[in-house]
Structure 1
Amino acid sequence: MKRVLAAVLALAVAAGGTLTGCGEKEKTGKKDEKMSAAFICANLGDKSFNDIAWEGFKKAETELGMDIKVVEYGAEKSKMEPALVDVAEKYDIVAFEGGEFTEILEKHYEEFPDTKFVGFDIDPTYQVKMPNYFAINYMQNQGDYLAGALAAKMSQTGVIGFVGGAEVVVINDFLLGYVEGAQHADANVKVATAYIGDFVNSPKAKELTQVQMTQGADVLHQVAGAAGLGLFEACAEKTGIWAIGVDADQREYFAESNQKVADVILTSMLKRNDIAIFNILKETAEGKAQYGTLKRWGVKEGVTVIVKNDFYRQNVPQETQAYIDELEGQIAAGEITMDTAYGMQQEQFISIRESVKP
């Protein structure tokens, strides 16, 4: 009966017509000695979280000889469940982002005892009860503490900006770190905050960025996936403005295609999905991965840190660079801690956010 359900859901994927795959030819069964891994995401091309995750898969293909595939389910969440069931039938390891997929997996994991599942950006309070599930929580509040401190140090107006995708706990976790890091650097700093409502509406991100500029923000940070590209466009159209990217080294993505945009991206707060994904794929292949657990990775592990490329070193004063390096070391050593949106009462979060409003 379980296999019948899997077949029905797989047919639903095919009928939907919007899922696309790329990569090597998919396996026809689990008996092949060549280990396979699939990545399910809304879409590639965000120049951010999904793209950098895919880099980890490609590294596993090159260095470990894995058969890899990405499945893009698009904007329709109804396609998430059939996508998960479909790839679980065919691949040894299936990776995805977020709590929604975890809830879906809870209904089906027993149907695929030989398949390993990897979820990232998982709530740190989540209790893992599935023996074939490896959950990863990124401590993005740590990395954004550094981003906020840098923004405050680089600001000439004392006002910085934050444009998030949806107002959800993971984005608010970024924001708390950003605000507290900024306040560490400048107790009087103001932080303009806005939410797009999704992670795809780039024009709205641009509009919200322009509004924050009228409030005095001269260093602005986007945490909005593909939608955040609109923030870069707005920053590139005005002089004296810096942008901070997210997840990947976003300046590098634009260095060849759009130099004007690239040259406003001072740094990015990384969530090194590529490192995390490659490591878990490698450990799984070696039989060393501890499934049935949740791991928390942050500054200490080099997973949530800011980019310190040549452009950063050329444009950030040496004194500020030294200050950021010192903060990074203190966070890694546990000497500096910060609030997290996970488990925080909404009233407390709103109070913190409103206390720094311009």
Structure 2
Amino acid sequence: MNNKITLYIKTIVMLAFIMFGVFVIFSSSIYPISADNTKKLEKSISAPSQNHPASEFEKKLKIAFLTDGLFSDAGWGAFGYNAAQALEGKYSYMVDYKENVPIPKIEETLRDYANSGYDIIISHGFEWGKPAVKVGKDYPETKFVIFTGLVNSSNVASIYPMQQEGTYVLGALAATMSKTGIIGFVGGERYPNLINIYEGYKQGAQDVNPAVKILVTYLDDWDNSTKGKKAAISQIDRGADFLLQVADTSGHGVIEAAKERGIYAFGAISDQNKLAPNTVLTSFVLDAEKAFDRIITLVKTSNFSGQIFKPGLEAEKGASGDGIVYIAPFHSLEHTVSDNVKLRLEKLKEDIINGNIKVPERYSNNIGNYLNNTG
């Protein structure tokens, strides 16, 4: 009997030790209570690992995107806004957006953002150049980028895409397909960038057909679709059967007139086919996302300097190389362009990219005065 009691007690003691050991192991695996374990946990959160690259732990840049245009214009303002948004998504940086800034308020707006501690201020429009240089002197740590600009200083860089290389292709296409031998151009304002765009269009058309006639109208108004439509109808009445418009929301009126009269129009800056799918044959487009991405990279690698970048044509959106100007697809109008014409256009693009065809910058004689008086 005593032996049975002794055996029973031993069994209970052994079970107690086993249960206690299980409890210790179980609780220590869930609750890392030791000081050593706490240090290990803190280290795993703060230090980059293979799953969390060092770039994720860098300072988050504050970026501002400012324009005197409208984000709703389906052209100049919209494409810039979309490009800046893409950067915001890619890098998770904070980007503040401001549209419709009155020209007289440009300097004040730049100064407000610089004073608020923004690291990069992307100014969307030629007229932002001179004010940015002036404000930049007071905020040497802030990086200013003008798209499209022709100014620079130690902390102000400009991106001035060779849009005339894109419009050269459109001019060649228009002159090739025109049945009347007359094509048109409607611009928002007669300033250097627009003159340069027109001259590329003219060169492309005349290289294909030296006898082609090109009608030109400058509206002096970027936000008046009625005015744009009236100018387009005037050109169509004079025989134009292809129209290139570079006029922001005024250009919507040009597209509307082309749609009503049954001719083709070209889009500008953005792929504007969606505005009139059976009318907008193609567009010349600026790959602003690619351009802005390079600026961000220069800032991150401490290689930003005040330069004027002049990227030209690229074979297609996002292609390798420095180009940021490309020709949009024909979309549902693909069947209206013959294979021979498509092959010819591809050859023209290749020759421009390789330098076999030169499309130089051309401006009015008073570009110096324009730059001095802008802003």
In structure 2, the CA distance between the partners of 1:289 and 1:219, relative to structure 1 (3 Å rule), is farther
Whether the 8 Å CA contact 2:281–2:330 is kept in 1: the answer is no
Aligned amino acid, residue 359 of structure 2: M
- Shift of the alpha carbon at 1:57? 1.1
Matches of 2:358 and 2:97 in 1, distance apart?
36
Residue pairs, 1:1-358, within 5 angstroms: 33-42=59-68, 43-74=70-101, 76-90=102-116, 91-123=118-150, 126=151, 128=152, 130-239=153-262, 241-252=263-274, 254=275, 261-284=276-299, 286-287=300-301, 289-300=303-314, 301-342=322-363, 344-345=364-365
CA contact (8 A) 1:49 1:273 kept: no
| Contact 2:277-2:332 at 8 Å conserved across structures | no
1:183·1:189 contact (CA, 8 Å) conserved in 2? yes
Q: Distance in 1 between matches of 2:90 and 2:125?
A: 27
Q: CA deviation at 1:56?
A: 1.6
Q: Give the alignment's Cα RMSD to 1 decimal.
A: 1.8
The letter of the residue matching 2:311 is W
Q: Which runs of 4+ in 1 moved over 6 A?
A: none
Match of 2:317 in 1: none
Once the two structures are superposed, what CA deviation does each residue of 1:167-212 show, in whole Å capped at 9, x if it has no partner? 1111110110001100111121111111111211111110000000
Structure 2 spans left out of the alignment, 5+ residues = 1-57, 315-321, 367-375
Measure how far apart 1:312 and its partner are.
Answer: 4.9
Judge conservation of contact 1:59–1:278 (CA < 8 Å) in 2.
no
Shift, 1:99, TM fit: 4.3
Residue type of the alignment partner of 1:262: P
Structure 2 letter corresponding to 1:275: K
Structure 1 residues 68 and 313: CA distance shift in structure 2, 3 A = same
Q: Which amino acid aligns with 1:161?
A: G
Alpha-carbon offset, residue 71 of structure 1: 1.2
Give the partner amino acid of 2:221: D
Shift of 1:339: 3.8
Identity level (%): 30
TM-score calculated relative to the size of structure 2: 0.76
Using CA pairs under 8 Å that are at least 6 residues apart, name the structure with larger relative contact order, 1 or 2: 1
Rounded to whole Å, the distance in 1 between the matches of 2:100 and 2:80 is 16
SS at match of 2:326: coil
Please list the CA deviations of residues 39-92 of structure 1 after superposition, one character each: whole Å capped at 9, or x if unmatched.
Answer: 111221111122111122111111101101111244x32211111111112211
Query: In the alignment, residue 180 of structure 1 is paired with which amino acid?
Result: Q
Distance 1:79 1:325, change over 3 A: same
CA–CA distance in 2 between the matches of 1:77 and 1:58? 24
TM-score normalised to the size of structure 1?
0.79
For 2:307, the aligned partner's letter is: T
Q: For residue 311 of structure 1, report the CA deviation from its aligned partner.
A: 3.0
1:272, distance to aligned residue in structure 2 (A):
2.0
Residues 302-353 of structure 1, C-alpha deviations (whole Å, 9 max, x = no match)? 41221124335332111111111000010111111124223x537xxxxxxx
Q: Report Cα offsets for 1:205-225 as digits up to 9, x if no partner.
A: 100000000111111110111
Tell me the CA shift for residue 297 of structure 1: 0.5
> For the structure 1 residues 308 and 73, does the alpha-carbon distance in structure 2 shift closer, same or farther, using more than 3 Å as the test?
closer
CA contact (8 A) 1:40 1:72 kept: yes
Q: Is the 8 A contact 2:295 2:304 kept in 1?
A: no
Q: Which moved more, 1:209-218 or 1:41-50?
A: 41-50
Residues of 2 paired with 1:231 and 1:107: CA distance? 37
Contact in 2 for aligned 1:56/1:276 (Cα 8 Å): no
- 5+ residue gaps, structure 1, are 1-31, 255-260, 347-358
Distance in 1, Cα, partners of 2:328 & 2:271: 6
Asked if structure 1 preserves the Cα contact closer than 8 Å seen for 2:66 and 2:97, the reply is yes
1:34–1:66 contact (8 Å) kept in structure 2: yes
Instruction: Report the CA distance between 1:111 and its aligned residue.
Output: 2.0
Deviation at 1:278, TM superposition (A): 2.9
